[in-house]
Structures are given as C-alpha cells and as structure tokens.
Amino acid sequence: MLKKILIANRGEIAIRVMRTCREMGIETVMVFSTADREALHTQLAAEAVCIGGPRPEASYLNMPGILQAALSTGCDAIHPGYGFLAESAEFAELTDAAGLTFIGPRAETIRQLGDKANARQLMSEAGLQTIPGSPGLLSSVEEALSVADEIGYPVLLKATAGGGGRGMRRIDKPEEMEEGLQSARREAKLGFGDEGVYLEKLILNPKHLEIQILADSHGEIIQLGERDCSLQRKRQKMIEESPCSLISDDLRHQLGEAAIQAGRAANYLGAGTVEFILAPTGEFYFMEVNTRIQVEHPVTEVLTGLDLVREQIRIASGAKLAMTQAEVKLRGHAIECRINAESPTNGFRPSPGRIEQFNLPGGFSVRVDSAMYSGCEITPHYDSLIAKLIVHGSSRRDAIRRMRRCLEEMIVDGVDTNVGLLYVLLFENDVIRGDYDTDYVEDNMEQLLKYASLMESE
C-alpha cells in the first residue's frame, strides 16, 4: 500500500485528495506557488513545498520541481488531480522513471487517448460509434471540404490536443473552410502546442452524457452510470446531474456497455470518463475519454457511495476493485453546481479579489468542495472555480429543491459569482423537466441573465 503521496495540484481538488488520504492513513505532501502561500490547500497541509512562482509553468506545471519535491520528502506516489499535469503522459513517464507511482492510467494510455483524433480512431476500430467525420487528422483543405461535403454542414474543426472546452470551431459552409482551418491550426498550435486538427459533424441540440469507469490492474472494469453534463456555457460544464432523466434503461445500459468496451480497447487502468454525445434521434456517439478524476466526480460518489479517489489510490497500489458490476447500486438523484468567481453581466469575465465574507450551505445530503474562506484572496493566475455544491435527493425533484435552498444560503461577498445564474436555471421549465441540450444555456442567456439580476437586486 502507498504510504506518502504528493498532491500535484491546488484548490478544491488538492484538498479533496488530501482528505481521502488522511482517512486512509496515508501521509500527504502539498505543493504551492508563491501566489498560494495563504491558499487553503497550503494552510491545511501537514507538509508543503513551495515549487515556484505564480505562473503555472513555474509551479503546478513544473515537472522537475514537483518530482524533486516528491523525492526529497520521501513520497512514494503522486496524485495529479485534474487539469495541470493530470493528462501529461510525459509527467506520468517521468514519475515512473523516478521510481514513484503515478496515480492514474498508464502513460501510454494517457498519450493514446489524450490525442483526441487518435482516440476517435481507436474507438471506431474497437466497434464504438464515433461522430461522423475525418478518419484522422486533416491533411488538407481539400480533404476537409470533401469530408464535410459527404457528412453535411455544419461541421466542427477540433484541435486534437484540445481540452477544457477550447479548440473548437464551427464551420457552416464550404466558403468558411479554408480560412477556418488555417485559424483552427494556428490557435491549436498556440493554445496546445500541437496544430493537429480533425473534423466532426456538429450534432445539433445534443446531450452530453458521460460514463464513469474504474479499471484495476487485474483486468476488471466496471461502470458507475451516467452523468448528464449538458448545461454548458462555451462548451464548459456548469451543472451536472445523475441519472439523466430523459433516457431509457435500455439506452443507459448501452452507454455503460460502450464505456466498458472503450476502457478495454485502451487497456485502461484507474478512474476515467468516457464522454458521449446523444443526438435528438436517440443515437449516441463516442466523443473522448478523460484520463483523470473529473471535476464532477462527486455526483457519482454521492449516488454510488464509492470514494473515487480512494479507488484511484487502491488501484494504483495494485488492489482489486472494491465492488463488482453487480454490486454497483445507484441510489436517488445527485446534482452539482460549479460556482465560479466571474461576472455573468460582464461577459463572464473572471472576478479576482478578496472574498470579504464566505458562507457555505450545509445540512442534510449536502456536500461542498471548496478551497475558499472569508478573507481569502482569489488571484488571477488560476481558474475561477470557487466551490462545487453537490446535493443528493431521493428524487430529482427533491434534489432540485435542495440545490435551490443551498444556493440561497450561499454568501460570497467581495467578488462576482455565477450563483444567481445557477439559481434561476433551476427554475426553468425545461431544466425542471430535464429536457435541455448543450445549447440551452447560451440560447436562453439573455433571458436568464435578466432573471438573475432581478433576483439579485431584491
């Protein structure tokens, strides 16, 4: 069993991983940048090492610095959290080479799946239905035009190394292709250091459904049901829930089976998420695999009673999965809201600053994962997530009511947040029915913001 783990991350996920380690009797070492001296993950740490300046490249992406910190503090493993180095195959390799355990999939799996065009090809060969599009990376405008002509517009140009909702460009007609492909390549090179771009049909009015999987080193793999992450802005998730109220048990079963098939095809190890797009026709397509713990993993934890970080650590230690597929029971309904320090009425501009007063909701069946406190400073260096609010309900209606109540209790003074927007969303008819797609928030943004500002001015 692992004895001491370095947590190569910050914010709520660093604390979330530390909590599980403590419960397992595993020692932890935190790392922090000079901008995070007062951050909660630094303050709560039993042991913490400063690894560089505020810029991520100097600290949370500083591979030699992090490895050095792990070795000098006597750690035997590294947990990367999400974001930063979590999906770096190179970092996983370097961790192994340093004689440490990387808590995540094998480096070659990360590499194979982190290249989205490659993952798409792999899954297509494994028999999964992928979104119609180019077989691999686009090699010319002519190829892009001919594929698009065949599958029909609109199409999406996607950066093969993209992530976090970035690196996608919609093309509505052939005339836009040449210029679009050029810009997509340029932006991909700039944003992700890889100009590879592939093409997919843009599925209109889809749902984003994803399946959590767990695979151990003994060849066992299980799936823990779906999460509906269709409430998005700019292709980034805002609210996630499980189960999805619109799909049949048959479709749910098919999605689960497809996710396991995907995991097997990639020789998967650890916790992962297989993302699918569900078209209004009822057909679903493989989209990508996230080879890490995800932001929205608590939704699944609440429904299954499984601690996914604990499972990650156990799997990395060579243990068998804690349960079989038949033992997986999903109970009730869970919803997560991502609360960001941002200003919805100013184009969602990040809103750094000091949080003067911070009050978190609590009570029955409520979980909050956060790294903020009254008086803390939100610096502009990192992402704007300030808390994840997760509620469990006996039914979907119960969960929605509980989430509304929690958002009412939430106090964040000093910075702008999206709390008002999340709140009004939970009163929308389509949201109450569960009948929303990935375009819903943006299509209704003007109206939603109007309601949100009315609520806040009272």
Interface residues toward Mg ion, by CB under 5 A: 275
Which range in 51-59, 104-112, 228-236, 400-408 contacts ligand ADP by CB under 6 A? 228-236
Structure token pair of residue 129:
């239905």
Which range in 261-269, 288-296, 404-412, 442-450 contacts ligand ADP by CB under 6 A? 288-296
User: For ligand ADP, which residue of 232, 304, 370, 417 counts as binding (CB under 6 A)?
Assistant: 232
Tell me the closest approach of the beta carbon of residue 235 to ligand ADP, in angstroms. Answer: 4
- What are all long-range contacts of 448-453, with beta carbons under 8 Å and residues at least 24 apart? 448/421, 448/424, 449/344, 449/345, 449/421, 451/424, 451/427, 452/344, 452/420, 452/421, 452/423, 452/424, 453/345, 453/420
Q: Measured between alpha carbons, how far is residue 213 from residues 7, 185, 225, 386 in Å?
A: 22, 32, 8, 27
Picked from ligand ADP, Mg ion, none, the partner binding residue 162 (CB below 5 to 8 A depending on kind) is ligand ADP
Tell me the closest approach of the beta carbon of residue 165 to ligand ADP, in angstroms. Answer: 4
Do the beta carbons of residue 413 and residue 205 sit within 8 Å? no
Give the H/E segment covering residue 252. Answer: helix 249-265
Enter the DSSP assignment of 76: S
**Is the CB of 16 or the CB of 237 nearer to Mg ion?**
237
In one-letter notation, the amino acid at residue 98 is A
Tell me the closest approach of the beta carbon of residue 410 to ligand ADP, in angstroms. Answer: 20
Do the beta carbons of residue 425 and residue 407 sit within 8 Å? no
Tell me the closest approach of the beta carbon of residue 176 to ligand ADP, in angstroms. Answer: 16
Do the beta carbons of residue 82 and residue 164 sit within 8 Å? no
Q: Which residue among the candidates 120, 292, 338, 402 is catalytic per the annotation?
A: 292
Picked from Mg ion, ligand ADP, none, the partner binding residue 277 (CB below 5 to 8 A depending on kind) is ligand ADP
Under the criterion CB under 6 A, does residue 163 sit at the interface with ligand ADP? yes
How far apart are the C-alpha atoms of 248 and 403, rounded to whole Å?
A: 25
Tell me the closest approach of the beta carbon of residue 131 to Mg ion, in angstroms. Answer: 13
* Pair type for strands 155-163 and 207-215: unpaired
Separation of CA 447 from chain center? 27
Q: Would you mind telling me the total number of residues written for the chain in this entry?
A: 458
**Is residue 292 annotated as a catalytic residue, yes or no?**
yes
Under the criterion CB under 6 A, does residue 194 sit at the interface with ligand ADP? no
Tell me the closest approach of the beta carbon of residue 16 to ligand ADP, in angstroms. Answer: 13
How far apart are the C-alpha atoms of 130 and 122, rounded to whole Å?
A: 10
How far apart are the C-alpha atoms of 333 and 245, rounded to whole Å?
A: 10
Which range in 52-60, 119-127, 159-167, 421-429 contacts ligand ADP by CB under 6 A? 159-167
Tell me the closest approach of the beta carbon of residue 84 to ligand ADP, in angstroms. Answer: 8
Give the H/E segment covering residue 250. Answer: helix 249-265
**Is the CB of 26 or the CB of 431 nearer to ligand ADP?**
431
**Is the CB of 2 or the CB of 341 nearer to ligand ADP?**
341
* Pair type for strands 377-378 and 353-354: antiparallel
User: For ligand ADP, which residue of 115, 288, 301, 416 counts as binding (CB under 6 A)?
Assistant: 288
Q: Tell which positions 200-219 bind ligand ADP, by CB under 6 A.
A: 200-203, 206, 208
**Is the CB of 275 or the CB of 336 nearer to Mg ion?**
275
**Is the CB of 235 or the CB of 405 nearer to Mg ion?**
235
User: For ligand ADP, which residue of 377, 383, 398, 428 counts as binding (CB under 6 A)?
Assistant: 383
Q: Which residues bind ligand ADP (CB under 6 A)?
A: 82-83, 131, 156, 162-165, 200-203, 206, 208, 232, 235-237, 275, 277, 287-288, 290, 294-296, 383, 438
Positions marked catalytic: 292
